[in-house]
Protein backbone atom coordinates (compact mmCIF):
# COMPACT_ATOMS: atom_id res chain seq x y z
CA UNK A 1 0.00 0.00 0.00
CA UNK A 2 2.67 2.50 1.08
CA UNK A 3 6.32 2.42 0.03
CA UNK A 4 8.69 5.10 1.27
CA UNK A 5 12.25 4.90 0.00
CA UNK A 6 15.13 7.17 0.92
CA UNK A 7 12.93 10.03 2.11
CA UNK A 8 14.86 13.13 3.18
CA UNK A 9 13.74 16.48 4.50
CA UNK A 10 15.64 19.32 6.12
CA UNK A 11 14.42 22.64 7.45
CA UNK A 12 17.46 24.81 6.90
CA UNK A 13 20.27 23.28 8.99
CA UNK A 14 17.90 20.98 10.86
CA UNK A 15 17.64 17.51 9.35
CA UNK A 16 14.14 16.23 10.03
CA UNK A 17 14.26 13.02 7.99
CA UNK A 18 17.30 11.21 6.68
CA UNK A 19 17.03 8.28 4.25
CA UNK A 20 13.79 6.97 5.69
CA UNK A 21 12.53 3.66 4.32
CA UNK A 22 9.12 2.45 5.43
CA UNK A 23 6.51 0.14 3.96
CA UNK A 24 2.99 -0.55 5.18
CA UNK A 25 0.85 -3.29 3.70
CA UNK A 26 -2.91 -3.27 3.36
CA UNK A 27 -4.51 -4.36 6.63
CA UNK A 28 -1.35 -3.67 8.62
CA UNK A 29 -1.13 -1.35 11.62
CA UNK A 30 2.31 0.17 12.09
CA UNK A 31 3.11 1.79 15.40
CA UNK A 32 5.45 4.65 14.57
CA UNK A 33 7.18 5.46 17.83
CA UNK A 34 9.81 8.01 18.71
CA UNK A 35 10.37 11.03 20.88
CA UNK A 36 9.25 14.57 20.10
CA UNK A 37 11.32 15.91 17.23
CA UNK A 38 12.05 12.46 15.81
CA UNK A 39 10.38 13.37 12.52
CA UNK A 40 6.99 11.65 12.82
CA UNK A 41 4.95 14.72 11.96
CA UNK A 42 7.32 15.63 9.11
CA UNK A 43 6.90 12.13 7.70
CA UNK A 44 3.11 12.44 7.80
CA UNK A 45 3.30 15.92 6.19
CA UNK A 46 5.42 14.66 3.32
CA UNK A 47 3.19 11.67 2.60
CA UNK A 48 0.10 13.89 2.74
CA UNK A 49 1.69 16.32 0.29
CA UNK A 50 1.74 19.21 2.74
CA UNK A 51 5.50 19.71 2.46
CA UNK A 52 7.97 18.98 -0.32
CA UNK A 53 10.54 16.28 0.22
CA UNK A 54 14.18 17.02 -0.51
CA UNK A 55 14.81 13.52 -1.83
CA UNK A 56 13.29 10.06 -1.93
CA UNK A 57 10.08 8.52 -3.16
CA UNK A 58 6.65 7.81 -1.76
CA UNK A 59 4.27 5.53 -3.60
CA UNK A 60 0.74 4.75 -2.50
CA UNK A 61 -0.89 1.85 -4.33
CA UNK A 62 1.79 2.24 -6.97
CA UNK A 63 1.11 5.96 -7.53
CA UNK A 64 3.96 8.43 -7.06
CA UNK A 65 2.55 10.51 -4.22
CA UNK A 66 5.22 13.21 -4.43
CA UNK A 67 4.65 13.93 -8.11
CA UNK A 68 0.90 13.34 -8.19
CA UNK A 69 -0.46 14.17 -4.72
CA UNK A 70 -3.93 14.91 -6.08
CA UNK A 71 -4.20 11.30 -7.29
CA UNK A 72 -3.46 9.75 -3.91
CA UNK A 73 -5.48 12.09 -1.70
CA UNK A 74 -8.74 10.16 -2.18
CA UNK A 75 -6.91 7.15 -0.73
CA UNK A 76 -5.43 9.00 2.20
CA UNK A 77 -6.92 9.87 5.58
CA UNK A 78 -4.93 12.10 7.90
CA UNK A 79 -5.72 13.06 11.48
CA UNK A 80 -2.89 15.45 12.51
CA UNK A 81 -1.62 15.74 16.05
CA UNK A 82 -3.52 18.91 16.88
CA UNK A 83 -7.29 18.66 16.88
CA UNK A 84 -8.76 20.39 13.86
CA UNK A 85 -12.42 20.99 13.07
CA UNK A 86 -14.74 23.97 12.54
CA UNK A 87 -15.82 25.07 16.02
CA UNK A 88 -18.78 27.17 14.90
CA UNK A 89 -20.35 24.41 12.82
CA UNK A 90 -22.48 21.62 14.21
CA UNK A 91 -20.79 18.26 14.61
CA UNK A 92 -23.02 16.93 11.85
CA UNK A 93 -22.04 19.79 9.53
CA UNK A 94 -18.34 19.24 10.20
CA UNK A 95 -18.79 15.62 9.13
CA UNK A 96 -21.03 16.52 6.19
CA UNK A 97 -18.55 19.12 4.91
CA UNK A 98 -15.69 16.67 4.60
CA UNK A 99 -18.01 13.95 3.36
CA UNK A 100 -19.28 16.22 0.59
CA UNK A 101 -15.76 17.32 -0.25
CA UNK A 102 -14.90 13.68 -0.90
CA UNK A 103 -17.90 13.25 -3.15
CA UNK A 104 -20.47 11.70 -0.83
CA UNK A 105 -24.00 12.89 -1.52
CA UNK A 106 -27.57 12.41 -0.42
CA UNK A 107 -28.39 9.11 1.23
CA UNK A 108 -24.79 7.82 1.04
CA UNK A 109 -23.59 10.88 2.88
CA UNK A 110 -26.29 10.65 5.54
CA UNK A 111 -25.66 6.96 6.16
CA UNK A 112 -21.91 7.36 6.28
CA UNK A 113 -22.11 10.29 8.72
CA UNK A 114 -24.41 8.27 10.97
CA UNK A 115 -22.13 5.23 10.70
CA UNK A 116 -18.97 7.11 11.65
CA UNK A 117 -20.74 9.05 14.38
CA UNK A 118 -22.01 5.80 15.86
CA UNK A 119 -18.58 4.13 15.66
CA UNK A 120 -16.98 7.00 17.59
CA UNK A 121 -19.77 7.71 20.04
CA UNK A 122 -20.82 11.00 18.46
CA UNK A 123 -24.38 10.08 17.52
CA UNK A 124 -25.97 12.01 20.40
CA UNK A 125 -23.73 15.03 19.75
CA UNK A 126 -24.49 15.64 16.08
CA UNK A 127 -26.67 18.68 16.73
CA UNK A 128 -24.17 20.37 19.04
CA UNK A 129 -21.66 22.97 17.94
CA UNK A 130 -18.20 21.51 17.84
CA UNK A 131 -16.85 24.18 20.21
CA UNK A 132 -19.27 22.96 22.90
CA UNK A 133 -17.82 19.44 23.00
CA UNK A 134 -15.50 18.19 25.71
CA UNK A 135 -11.84 17.53 24.90
CA UNK A 136 -12.38 13.82 24.40
CA UNK A 137 -15.44 14.39 22.22
CA UNK A 138 -13.53 16.87 20.10
CA UNK A 139 -10.77 14.33 19.71
CA UNK A 140 -13.28 11.80 18.43
CA UNK A 141 -14.71 14.32 15.97
CA UNK A 142 -11.19 15.15 14.81
CA UNK A 143 -10.52 11.46 14.17
CA UNK A 144 -13.90 10.91 12.52
CA UNK A 145 -13.18 13.57 9.89
CA UNK A 146 -10.28 11.47 8.60
CA UNK A 147 -12.41 8.35 8.23
CA UNK A 148 -15.51 9.50 6.36
CA UNK A 149 -14.29 8.72 2.86
CA UNK A 150 -13.10 5.18 3.70
CA UNK A 151 -9.38 5.83 3.21
CA UNK A 152 -7.12 2.97 2.21
CA UNK A 153 -4.16 4.52 4.03
CA UNK A 154 -4.69 6.22 7.36
CA UNK A 155 -2.26 8.35 9.35
CA UNK A 156 -3.19 9.00 12.96
CA UNK A 157 -0.78 11.29 14.78
CA UNK A 158 -1.19 10.90 18.56
CA UNK A 159 -4.92 10.21 18.18
CA UNK A 160 -5.63 9.66 21.87
CA UNK A 161 -3.66 12.51 23.40
CA UNK A 162 -5.78 14.24 26.01
CA UNK A 163 -8.55 11.70 25.51
CA UNK A 164 -10.50 9.97 28.25
CA UNK A 165 -10.55 6.22 28.66
CA UNK A 166 -13.81 5.80 26.73
CA UNK A 167 -12.51 7.85 23.78
CA UNK A 168 -9.26 5.95 23.75
CA UNK A 169 -11.09 2.64 23.63
CA UNK A 170 -13.36 3.76 20.80
CA UNK A 171 -10.49 5.00 18.69
CA UNK A 172 -8.50 1.81 19.17
CA UNK A 173 -11.53 -0.26 18.30
CA UNK A 174 -12.18 1.59 15.08
CA UNK A 175 -8.51 1.39 14.09
CA UNK A 176 -8.62 -2.39 14.49
CA UNK A 177 -11.86 -2.54 12.53
CA UNK A 178 -10.39 -0.47 9.68
CA UNK A 179 -7.32 -2.67 9.51
CA UNK A 180 -9.54 -5.74 9.40
CA UNK A 181 -11.26 -4.17 6.39
CA UNK A 182 -7.91 -3.81 4.61
CA UNK A 183 -6.91 -0.24 5.51
CA UNK A 184 -3.20 0.35 6.11
CA UNK A 185 -2.75 2.34 9.31
CA UNK A 186 0.22 4.34 10.53
CA UNK A 187 -0.38 4.97 14.22
CA UNK A 188 1.99 7.53 15.77
CA UNK A 189 1.90 7.37 19.51
CA UNK A 190 3.86 7.72 22.73
CA UNK A 191 1.51 5.32 24.51
CA UNK A 192 3.11 1.89 24.31
CA UNK A 193 0.13 0.02 25.79
CA UNK A 194 -1.93 1.19 22.81
CA UNK A 195 0.66 -0.10 20.35
CA UNK A 196 0.63 -3.43 22.18
CA UNK A 197 -3.15 -3.55 22.28
CA UNK A 198 -3.32 -2.95 18.52
CA UNK A 199 -0.77 -5.75 17.89
CA UNK A 200 0.88 -3.23 15.64
CA UNK A 201 4.20 -3.80 13.95
CA UNK A 202 6.89 -1.38 15.02
CA UNK A 203 8.87 1.37 13.33
CA UNK A 204 11.18 3.28 15.64
CA UNK A 205 11.98 6.78 14.40
CA UNK A 206 14.85 8.59 16.08
CA UNK A 207 16.52 11.81 14.89
CA UNK A 208 15.01 11.43 11.44
CA UNK A 209 16.06 7.81 10.89
CA UNK A 210 14.20 4.53 11.14
CA UNK A 211 16.24 2.57 13.65
CA UNK A 212 14.13 -0.55 13.73
CA UNK A 213 11.33 -1.99 11.61
CA UNK A 214 9.88 -5.28 12.74
CA UNK A 215 6.87 -7.04 14.19
CA UNK A 216 5.99 -6.29 17.79
CA UNK A 217 7.00 -9.72 19.06
CA UNK A 218 10.28 -9.80 17.18
CA UNK A 219 11.11 -6.33 18.50
CA UNK A 220 10.48 -7.33 22.09
CA UNK A 221 12.28 -10.64 21.72
CA UNK A 222 15.31 -9.02 20.09
CA UNK A 223 15.64 -5.96 22.27
CA UNK A 224 13.37 -6.29 25.29
CA UNK A 225 15.01 -6.77 28.63
CA UNK A 226 13.83 -7.50 32.07
CA UNK A 227 13.99 -4.32 34.07
CA UNK A 228 14.10 -3.34 37.66
CA UNK A 229 12.12 -0.16 38.01
CA UNK A 230 12.68 1.99 41.06
CA UNK A 231 10.97 5.11 42.27
CA UNK A 232 12.69 7.36 44.74
CA UNK A 233 11.89 10.06 47.17
CA UNK A 234 13.07 13.04 45.14
CA UNK A 235 15.30 12.77 42.09
CA UNK A 236 16.60 9.33 41.16
CA UNK A 237 20.37 9.15 41.66
CA UNK A 238 22.48 8.57 38.56
CA UNK A 239 24.38 5.31 38.67
CA UNK A 240 26.35 3.47 35.97
CA UNK A 241 23.98 1.45 33.82
CA UNK A 242 20.87 3.16 35.15
CA UNK A 243 18.48 5.20 33.05
CA UNK A 244 16.93 7.94 35.12
CA UNK A 245 13.97 10.20 34.48
CA UNK A 246 12.81 12.33 37.36
CA UNK A 247 11.91 10.12 40.30
CA UNK A 248 12.28 6.89 38.34
CA UNK A 249 15.28 4.77 37.54
CA UNK A 250 15.32 1.87 35.12
CA UNK A 251 17.93 -0.85 35.38
CA UNK A 252 18.02 -3.28 32.46
CA UNK A 253 19.21 -6.60 33.86
CA UNK A 254 19.05 -10.31 33.21
CA UNK A 255 19.12 -11.07 36.95
CA UNK A 256 16.64 -8.72 38.57
CA UNK A 257 16.69 -10.43 41.95
CA UNK A 258 20.46 -10.13 42.22
CA UNK A 259 20.33 -6.51 41.10
CA UNK A 260 17.83 -5.70 43.85
CA UNK A 261 19.78 -7.63 46.45
CA UNK A 262 23.03 -5.88 45.52
CA UNK A 263 21.35 -2.49 45.71
CA UNK A 264 19.87 -3.13 49.14
CA UNK A 265 23.06 -4.64 50.53
CA UNK A 266 25.72 -2.41 49.08
CA UNK A 267 24.02 0.96 48.53
CA UNK A 268 22.26 1.63 51.80
CA UNK A 269 22.14 5.35 51.29
CA UNK A 270 20.48 4.96 47.93
CA UNK A 271 18.26 2.11 49.14
CA UNK A 272 16.93 4.29 51.95
CA UNK A 273 15.35 6.61 49.40
CA UNK A 274 13.62 3.89 47.39
CA UNK A 275 9.84 4.09 47.49
CA UNK A 276 8.86 1.24 45.18
CA UNK A 277 10.63 -1.62 43.42
CA UNK A 278 9.13 -3.36 40.42
CA UNK A 279 10.37 -6.21 38.23
CA UNK A 280 9.04 -5.87 34.69
CA UNK A 281 9.23 -8.56 32.07
CA UNK A 282 10.44 -7.64 28.58
CA UNK A 283 7.92 -5.39 26.93
CA UNK A 284 7.76 -2.73 24.26
CA UNK A 285 9.00 -0.06 26.59
CA UNK A 286 12.10 -1.95 27.65
CA UNK A 287 12.84 -2.84 24.03
CA UNK A 288 12.50 0.82 23.04
CA UNK A 289 14.74 1.78 25.93
CA UNK A 290 17.39 -0.72 24.85
CA UNK A 291 17.35 0.51 21.25
CA UNK A 292 17.29 4.23 21.88
CA UNK A 293 18.64 4.62 25.40
CA UNK A 294 15.75 6.88 26.24
CA UNK A 295 12.36 6.85 27.80
CA UNK A 296 9.52 8.26 25.72
CA UNK A 297 8.06 11.38 27.41
CA UNK A 298 4.80 10.56 29.09
CA UNK A 299 5.50 6.92 29.75
CA UNK A 300 7.55 7.33 32.90
CA UNK A 301 4.85 9.48 34.48
CA UNK A 302 2.29 6.74 34.01
CA UNK A 303 4.58 4.04 35.27
CA UNK A 304 5.85 5.76 38.38
CA UNK A 305 2.56 6.89 39.87
The one segment of 10-18, 90-98, 116-124, 279-287 that binds another protein by CB under 8 A? 90-98
Our CB check for another protein shows the closer of 137 and 292 to be: 137
CA–CA distance, 162 with 37 (Å, rounded to integer) = 19
The one segment of 84-92, 162-170, 186-194, 295-303 that binds another protein by CB under 8 A? 84-92
What backbone phi and psi angles, to 5 degrees, belong to 2?
-120, 130
Choice from 10, 35, 73, 278 touching another protein (CB under 8 A): 73
Number of residues in the chain: 305
Site string for another protein, 109-148 (x = CB under 8 A): ------------------------------------x---
CA–CA distance, 25 with 12 (Å, rounded to integer) = 33
Asked if 37 is part of the footprint of another protein (rule: CB under 8 A), the reply reads no
Our CB check for another protein shows the closer of 76 and 172 to be: 76
Choice from 4, 24, 76, 156 touching another protein (CB under 8 A): 76
Contacts 24+ apart (CB under 8 A), 230-237: 230/263, 230/274, 230/276, 230/277, 230/278, 231/274, 231/275, 231/276, 231/304, 232/273, 232/274, 232/275, 233/273, 233/275, 234/273, 237/270, 237/273
- For residue 46, the minimal CB distance to another protein (Å) is 11
Choice from 19, 25, 82, 181 touching another protein (CB under 8 A): 82
Q: HSE (CB half, 13 Å, CA atoms) of 225?
A: 16
- For residue 164, the minimal CB distance to another protein (Å) is 21
46: alpha, beta or left? (left if phi > 0; alpha if psi -120 to 50): alpha
Cite the DSSP H helix spans in 36-187: 40-47, 69-72, 91-101, 106-119, 135-145, 165-180
The one segment of 74-82, 160-168, 194-202, 231-239 that binds another protein by CB under 8 A? 74-82
- For residue 206, the minimal CB distance to another protein (Å) is 25
Asked if 151 is part of the footprint of another protein (rule: CB under 8 A), the reply reads no
Our CB check for another protein shows the closer of 93 and 123 to be: 93
Q: How many CB atoms lie within 10 A of CB 289?
A: 21
Residue 43 near residue 205, CB atoms below 8 Å: yes
- Positions touching another protein (CB under 8 A) are 45, 48-52, 70, 73-74, 76, 78, 80, 82-89, 93, 97-98, 100-103, 145, 149
Amino acid sequence: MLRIVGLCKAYGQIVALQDVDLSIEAGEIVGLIGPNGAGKTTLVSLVAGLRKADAGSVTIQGIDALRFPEKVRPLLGVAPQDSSFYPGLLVRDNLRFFGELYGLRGRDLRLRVDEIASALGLETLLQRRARELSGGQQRRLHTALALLHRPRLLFLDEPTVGADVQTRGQILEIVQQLAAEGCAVCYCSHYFPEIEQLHASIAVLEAGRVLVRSSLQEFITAHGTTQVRLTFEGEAPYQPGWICEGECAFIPTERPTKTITDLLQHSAEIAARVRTIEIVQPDLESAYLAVTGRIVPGMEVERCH
